[in-house]
């Protein structure tokens, strides 16, 4: 079970210099503040979890069920809601705020987000297929799929064949990333390496499950 988590927004990438002069590529994430909107307990809900909000918005932008949740909790309306199964969820109070300093430099985390959408793409971009030969009568199909399987038997294309189609815009989790720096004043967490999604995309940070 998770011990700490927070919601954030990817702001882009930059670099830091370590004490020995090495360059560290980092992703800057605006993490929190995240008010606690709901606390779920084992007795009432069947499991223990906490629901966090992120990115304050005008209440008029929400539908009535969502607006009702925030009104009941007594917290400002939030654009993003995510639920985390945290160890100490039962002890958290509705209305309290989770800030970026729950994490520290050196912590290992998992980051989840929606990857960049690439639309309908071919097999070379989607599956890293090789091009077909450029000579000996192979045109003009140099970037196509290639062989689809045997002819008379089985007389069909097997399920799972890597073909052109929608690529990207799916939930992706990068495991075991390292936090390089936490800036509480700016609500910023700097994570070593890249994280899923475009700039301004919403991401969820949690302590690593495989560290």
Q: What confidence tens digit (pLDDT) does each residue in 78-93 have?
A: 999 999 998 877 788 8
* H or E segment and range at residue 68: helix 64-73
Q: Domain boundaries in the chain?
A: 5-118+172-207, 121-168
Residues 6+ apart with CB under 8 A from 66: 77, 81
**Contact present, 9 and 202 (Cβ < 8 Å):** yes
CATH, domain 5-118+172-207, list 2.40.110.10, 1.10.3720.10, 2.40.30.10, 3.40.50.450: 2.40.30.10
Q: What confidence tens digit (pLDDT) does each residue in 24-76 have?
A: 999 999 998 999 999 998 888 888 899 999 989 998 999 999 899 899 989 99
pLDDT number for residue 149: 85
Strand partners, 17: 23
pTM of the model as a whole: 0.84
Average pLDDT over residues 88-110: 88
- Say whether pLDDT at 202 is over 70: yes
pLDDT number for residue 1: 66
């Amino acid at each position: 079970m998770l011990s700490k988590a927070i919601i954030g927004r990817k702001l882009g990438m930059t670099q830091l210099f370590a004490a020995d002069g090495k360059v560290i590529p980092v992703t800057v994430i605006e993490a929190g503040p995240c008010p606690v909107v709901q606390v779920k307990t084992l007795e009432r809900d069947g499991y223990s979890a906490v629901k966090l909000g992120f990115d304050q918005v005008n209440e008029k932008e929400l539908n009535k069920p969502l607006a009702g949740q925030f009104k009941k909790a007594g917290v400002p309306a939030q654009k993003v809601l995510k639920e985390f199964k945290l160890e100490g969820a039962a002890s958290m109070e509705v209305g309290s705020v989770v800030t970026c300093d729950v994490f520290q430099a050196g912590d290992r985390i998992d980051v989840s987000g929606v990857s960049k959408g690439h639309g309908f793409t071919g097999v070379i971009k989607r599956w890293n297929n090789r091009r077909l030969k450029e000579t000996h009568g192979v045109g003009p199909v140099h970037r196509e799929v290639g062989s689809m399987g045997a002819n008379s038997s089985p007389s069909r294309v097997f399920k799972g064949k890597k073909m052109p189609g929608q690529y990207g815009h799916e939930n992706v989790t990068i495991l075991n990333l390292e936090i390089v720096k936490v800036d509480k004043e700016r609500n910023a967490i700097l994570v070593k390496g890249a994280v899923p999604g475009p700039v301004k995309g919403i991401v969820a940070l949690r302590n690593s499950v495989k560290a």
